[in-house]
Structure 1
Amino acid sequence: MIRLYDTIEPNVIDEELLKLAVEEQGPQEEAGQVAKQEGINFKDVRSLQLDFQNILRIDNLWQFENLRKLQLDNNIIERIDGLDSLVNLVWLDLSFNNIETIEGLDNLINLEDLSLFSNRISKMDAMDTLVKLQVFSIGNNMIDNLLNVIYLRRFPELRSLNLAGNPVCENEDYKLFVTAYLGDLVYLDFRLIDAHTREAGFAKYQYSIYELKHRENQMQYKLEEEKANIAELEKHKAAYVEYLNGSYLFDNLYSDDTEAAKLAYLPGVPELLETYKTKFVSICQNIFDYGLIQQEKRTAEVDLFYECLGEALSDNRDLGLKTINEFEKKHVKMLHDIRNANELQVVDAKMSECAEEISHLFDILMTYEMQLVEQLEESINNFERNIIDMVGTFVENVQGLMAQCRDLENHHHEKLLEISINTLEKIVKSEFDEDLPDDVRALFSDKDTVVNAVGASHDIHLLKIDNREDELITNVSNWCSGIVDKVHTDEHNRNRKRVKEINQYIDHLQNELDNLDFGDLLD
């Protein structure tokens, strides 16, 4: 595809081009002149037309975060990029360009109408996030395989599709295939799909579609299952007990323990190991169950605190607004009386009275704020004590349960060492008849080697138990200190902001009073 302006110097989307485009497409009367004088805020632009600009690369559009319609047709664009910030885009026209690959659309989750007409695209993909897509025009490209159509089944809102001008349209079953596989499509190549074509397409491909739907349902089930598992894991992480509901920690003890794998060949060790695993996993499950219960209690405590906080802030705000409204009714009358006073003495008296009322309002609002600060300080201190106590109790109980895991490990170690020494004695006395692999038999060359092997395995297990305990305690302690610090910081910032608001409001009232115009009275 070659256009006359392809030989012109390629253009770039720079600040000047964007300003010019916005000005030309904006209001041309008085409002347009004002916009030019005061400057254009690209964030306010909803529609942008950049067609026939000989643009080679999309760039500098990040400021148009509220853009809904973008026209980039009839340029020489080779790649779709630079659109990541346009999350509110609904309509995008990239027709008549040199695009070969669909890409760079991931963030356009609100896109409803997309035109890639007359480019060099041979495959439809990389549009998974465009779940709201309704109209898709990709005619006059290089798509030659009907299977591309199946990709479009993931867009439930798609109602209009244009593929005209692609090699795939030369297939005699083109219309029947598209109609059958895209059952909700209303328009194909800008023509309404008639009932006869729809029925014929379904009849021809019904069995293939049944099989496809079955596979899609299976994939959807797996996807939903994966999402559910991820959500469940996030819940476990929030309780700091992830992977403690099962044999994960136990299996992890042995994941890189080569000595334990060798010792497992000894008679009696598999049974010993199975008993150890059963008891160990049971303790881990207790930690897991206890962790979820404690997480629910912590969440309830946090929710209750913020609920009470919201009520206190709301009550204080309502009280302040009521006081200000009552003051302003009285204040308007006082200003009116001052402006209409006939004598300077009266003016001075009323101004003094008004100034006193303003000062009194300041005292009342600051009193409300101080009362709120005291109320919130008490609530925050209670919340802090409760959270710290809850986390402290949780940590203490977890440490107790982890101690049980270590006790089990110590007991298992003693039994394993006993079996290993007995095996060594039998081997020395030539009383051991079991067949052992060469690397296992090499452990029993002397007592030190046996003891070191069993001890190395034991040390690995204890270290992993300690590390998991430290991880849990560190994470929940960090959460505790983090949420307490945030509560104190938020309250400090709220208080400073409120005091500033009060002072600004009082300053405004006082300035308004000081700058009253008394007209003829002062003349």
Structure 2
Amino acid sequence: MNRLYNSMEPRVMDDDMLKLAVGEQGPQEEAGRLAKQEGVLFKDVLSLRLDFQNILCIDNLWQFENLRKLQLDNNIIERIQGLENLTQLVWLDLSFNNIEAIEGLDTLVNLEDLSLSNNRISKIDSLDALVKLQVLSLGNNQIGNMMNIIYLRRFKCLRTLSLSGNPMAEAEDYKMFICAYLPDLVYLDFRRIDDHVAKLAETKHQYSIDELRHRETLMQARLEEEQARQEELEEHKAAFVEHLNGSFLFDSMYAEDTEGNKLSSLPGVSELLEAYPSNLSTIREESEVPSIEKKITECGEDVAELFNVLMTLEMQLVEQLECRDLENHHHEKLLEISINTLEKIVKGELDEDLPDDVRALFVDKDTIVNAVGASHDIHLLKIDNREDELVTRVNSWCTHLVDKIHTDEIMRNRKRVKEINQYIDHTQGELDNLECGDMID
């Protein structure tokens, strides 16, 4: 469901609207009236209701730094923004708006209840910072890919999820899939998950779940290893900076010698000083540490995205390989229906007019069994061919990938060795050109 612009003009969240909302929601007793007369500081407000205001853009909320509950439903908001300072927010309602993408929630680390139902959202993402999320409502949106559920596995506190009214909810395996991949979920689409259904779902998708858990364990181990490596790098950088701070180059170069002359006045040293920063803070400012940290963050995001893509492909592959079980089930049901139809024909209880070629099959039980068995064998053959094709393609892709990685690594190594040699030659040349004799004199 999407809200349309009505006859009213879209409104802006200015100070007048916010003051009015705060005043109307305050207590009505004598203390409340005094508060209205004297005014209420926005930073003291814990709950704010701005529903049905025809708001187009979220703005001017930066003063509500202690806000716990924010109600912005039933407006015409198109983007989630302007919530950066609401770090204490626990409950947020943005339902019945025109939001197309989940964004702007990176600082809401204390959020527990988020409602985005009845919008235009097509993908579940950008919720990584909401580590305390317990309730997520996304009903009546445009989410069609079941693989969005994989993303929600990272939210260990999530207990209530609503996705009804999305295209994905029309899938036959919708409930089973969610129960299997989100085993800690208690409520789905406003109904408590039955323990029996949860066990059936786990059994049905056990192979896929085991593979996913294995990959998640490997991913977590790699992240912890990278974090440890980063901490070690920070320690080395700190030690290096400390060493520079106490070294002859940065501490003694400006000291006076026994004759009262500064070392910086010696021939050749002044040029060397100009080539280096004059103080330690300049070194830190000119270092590439922020750039490195930014690159590491970007790479981490790329790795997470790669994980989601690979898991999507893996789940699709598993679903294709489950075709054999589906075919066996189809064969059993078809054989059962065929035999029942034959019995009805023999007893004259079949009211439907069958085509001549179909009726010719219902001569006796052996003919029916042979016909259904032949159809089953043909389907299994097609499935076998499909599996062989998939395995061949995967092996070919794997071989190509390994070859490419090997080639790229060789090229990278050669390039790096060349850069190292050039740098060493350049540094040695600079040292050779330094007038050390003048400095000694």
**TM-score, structure 1 normalization:** 0.48
Q: What is the aligned counterpart of 1:460 among 401, 404, 427?
A: 427
Give the superposition deviation at 1:461.
3.4
Closer, same or farther: CA 396–20 of 1 in aligned 2, 3 Å: closer
Give the superposition deviation at 1:40.
1.6
Work out the CA distance in 2 between the residues paired with 1:177 and 1:463: 66
Q: Within 5 A, what are the aligned runs for 1:66-465?
A: 66-240=66-240, 391=246, 458-461=425-428, 463=430
Give the superposition deviation at 1:233.
1.1
Provide Cα deviations, 1:481-505, integer angstroms capped at 9, x if missing partner: xxxxxxxxxxxxxxxxxxxxxxxxx
SS at match of 1:185: coil
**The 10-residue stretch of structure 1 (168-177 or 221-230) with the greater mean CA deviation from structure 2:** 221-230
Provide Cα deviations, 1:91-123, integer angstroms capped at 9, x if missing partner: 000000000100101111110000001001010
Give the superposition deviation at 1:27.
1.2
Work out the CA distance in 1 between the residues paired with 2:226 and 2:9: 51
Closer, same or farther: CA 457–113 of 1 in aligned 2, 3 Å: closer
Closer, same or farther: CA 53–239 of 1 in aligned 2, 3 Å: same
Aligned to 1:314: none
Work out the CA distance in 2 between the residues paired with 1:54 and 1:223: 44
Aligned to 1:270: none
Aligned to 1:47: 47
Matched, 1:34 2:31: no
Closer, same or farther: CA 456–216 of 1 in aligned 2, 3 Å: closer
Aligned to 2:318: none
Provide Cα deviations, 1:248-275, integer angstroms capped at 9, x if missing partner: xxxxxxxxxxxxxxxxxxxxxxxxxxxx
Give the superposition deviation at 1:41.
0.4
Provide Cα deviations, 1:174-208, integer angstroms capped at 9, x if missing partner: 00000000010011001110011101110111110
Work out the CA distance in 1 between the residues paired with 2:11 and 2:196: 49
Name the larger-Rg structure.
1
Closer, same or farther: CA 38–183 of 1 in aligned 2, 3 Å: same
Count of equivalent residues: 266
Paired letter, 1:131: V
CA contact (8 A) 2:105 2:126 kept: yes
Structure number with higher relative contact order (C-alpha < 8 Å, ≥ 6 residues apart): 1
Give the superposition deviation at 1:32.
1.8
Aligned to 2:65: 65
Work out the CA distance in 2 between the residues paired with 1:465 and 1:51: 74
Give the superposition deviation at 1:394.
11
Work out the CA distance in 2 between the residues paired with 1:2 and 1:83: 22
Work out the CA distance in 2 between the residues paired with 1:113 and 1:9: 30
Give the superposition deviation at 1:455.
12
**The 10-residue stretch of structure 1 (230-239 or 119-128) with the greater mean CA deviation from structure 2:** 230-239
Aligned to 1:13: 13
Give the superposition deviation at 1:133.
0.3
CA contact (8 A) 1:60 1:82 kept: yes
SS at match of 2:85: coil
CA contact (8 A) 1:6 1:76 kept: no
Structure with more of its chain in helix, by fraction: 1
Closer, same or farther: CA 394–6 of 1 in aligned 2, 3 Å: same
CA contact (8 A) 2:158 2:184 kept: yes
Give the superposition deviation at 1:37.
2.3
CA RMSD of aligned residues (A): 2.9
Unaligned runs of 5+ in 1: 243-290, 296-387, 398-453, 467-523
CA contact (8 A) 2:3 2:76 kept: no
Give the superposition deviation at 1:70.
0.3
Give the superposition deviation at 1:12.
0.8
Closer, same or farther: CA 2–220 of 1 in aligned 2, 3 Å: closer
Work out the CA distance in 2 between the residues paired with 1:463 and 1:156: 57
Give the superposition deviation at 1:464.
8.9
SS at match of 1:240: helix
**TM-score, structure 2 normalization:** 0.56
Aligned to 2:368: none
Work out the CA distance in 1 between the residues paired with 2:235 and 2:175: 48
Work out the CA distance in 2 between the residues paired with 1:208 and 1:455: 51
Give the superposition deviation at 1:460.
2.9
CA contact (8 A) 1:95 1:119 kept: yes
Work out the CA distance in 2 between the residues paired with 1:122 and 1:77: 16
